Amino acid sequence: MISFELTEEQTFIRESVRKFARTELREIARKCDEASNLSDELLAKTWELALTSSSIPERLGGAGLPHSCVTFAIVAEELAFGDAPLAAAALAPSLFVNPLLDFGTREQQEELLPLFTTNRYHAASLALHEPNFAFDPAKLRTVAEPRGKGYRISGSKCFVPFGDRASHFLVVARGDTDGLEGLEAFIVPRDAPGLRLSIEREPTLGLQALPLARLELRGVEVGAEARLGGDRGIDGARLINRCRLGSAALAVGLSRAIQEFVIGYAKERVAFGQPIAQKQVIAFTLADMEIETHSMRHLVWKAASRLEQGRDATRASTLAQSYVSREAMTIADNGIQILGGHGYVRSYPVEMWYRNARALTVLDGLVAL
């Protein structure tokens, strides 16, 4: 029998993260959006939740808990309920740590994972997205060519979270074969010769508080030990599915935030002698928001469950990403419409959430389950 009931541990984690998101993230979301920056104090607070180190083995300084993709999706949703960019910032180290746990060799894990078990936030990131209109993870332009006893990497990456301070980048490149099966990932230190960083933020519609950078890899040469997974490499489809579901989980949390706010507004806003929530068209729209939010969550959890079980999750992840991208924007747009003129002004958070929803639905590689 299929059950969607949370375990006692998952329920505790959800409630704890939800409280943190509401009291810590929601309170400073607008300030961070206006400043296009986030504070070290916030990163320190999120680091205390041990969201990154909990699955790192005890022998390397972590808690040694089993990694659950479903639980991570729950955490991502709850944090994004507080604020999506701040949630992405809190979970950014997972872009490096989770693939390392999934595919890394013992030597790679022993060298790098202890960096994330200290009491201070440590930034490392995934370089996946590329600056071209027809970006497709299955058709990357960044290439890794065998050169001597190592590899030569050439290409461009954009929208790299925490590129301004990351110590290492996990650069995803095209290998010998086409498609997701041919993807490779390489551990590239920040000071690698030939790696050029542009940390000046590109003007973007949403996710203002999340630092994003551009990388130029001009013949960056790395040793064979830098190839994630060593001789066996990685499962490219699994890596991309983790990224797709990470962004989708954030979008579910953001949609829930919009829905909750709009319901409260509609109950209090009086027009023509009655709350607008009692107007049939408004009531039906609010009901659709509720239905679609639950549907999005179901698809994300289903795909995350397949990932967690080690099964092929490409179809489930693609369906979840496609559905969530469409419905999250519908919910955000309806939120603007229900607020009317108030949805357009910055005095209310819905316009900010609308911008963030648009960014989440077009960017891959912000969070990896």
Rounded Cα distance between 135 and 261, Å, is 34
pLDDT digits (tens, 9 = 90+) for 206-230: 999 999 999 999 999 999 999 999 9
User: Using H for helix, E for strand and C for coil, what is the string for 281-303?
Assistant: HHHHHHHHHHHHHHHHHHHHHHH
Pull the structure tokens for residue 3.
């059950």
pLDDT above 90 covers what percent of the chain? 89
Q: What is the mean pLDDT of the chain?
A: 94
Spatial contact of 355 and 231, defined as CB atoms under 8 Å apart: no
| 156 SS3 class | strand
Question: Could you tell me the pLDDT band of residue 39, with boundaries at 50, 70 and 90?
Answer: confident
- Residue 178: the pLDDT is 83
Q: What is the DSSP letter of 231?
A: G
Q: Specify the length of the chain in residues.
A: 369
Rounded Cα distance between 27 and 152, Å, is 45
- Flag whether the pTM goes above 0.85: yes
User: Per-residue pLDDT averaged across 298-308, rounded?
Assistant: 96
Q: Is the predicted pLDDT of residue 1 greater than 60, yes or no?
A: no
Query: What structural domains does the chain harbor?
Result: 8-116 (1.10.540.10), 125-232 (2.40.110.10), 236-360 (1.20.140.10)
Spatial contact of 327 and 292, defined as CB atoms under 8 Å apart: yes
pLDDT digits (tens, 9 = 90+) for 311-324: 999 999 999 999 99
pLDDT digits (tens, 9 = 90+) for 270-283: 999 999 999 999 99
pLDDT above 70 covers what percent of the chain? 99
- Residue 2: the pLDDT is 59
Which residues touch 3 (CB under 8 Å, ≥6 apart)?
Answer: none
Question: Could you tell me the pLDDT band of residue 171, with boundaries at 50, 70 and 90?
Answer: very high
Residue 147's H or E segment, with its range, is strand 143-147
Q: Is the predicted pLDDT of residue 4 greater than 80, yes or no?
A: no
Q: Is the predicted pLDDT of residue 308 greater than 90, yes or no?
A: yes
Spatial contact of 76 and 367, defined as CB atoms under 8 Å apart: yes
Q: Is the predicted pLDDT of residue 46 greater than 70, yes or no?
A: yes
Question: Could you tell me the pLDDT band of residue 77, with boundaries at 50, 70 and 90?
Answer: very high
The CA-atom distances, in angstroms, between 355 and each of 209, 310, 336 are 12, 34, 11
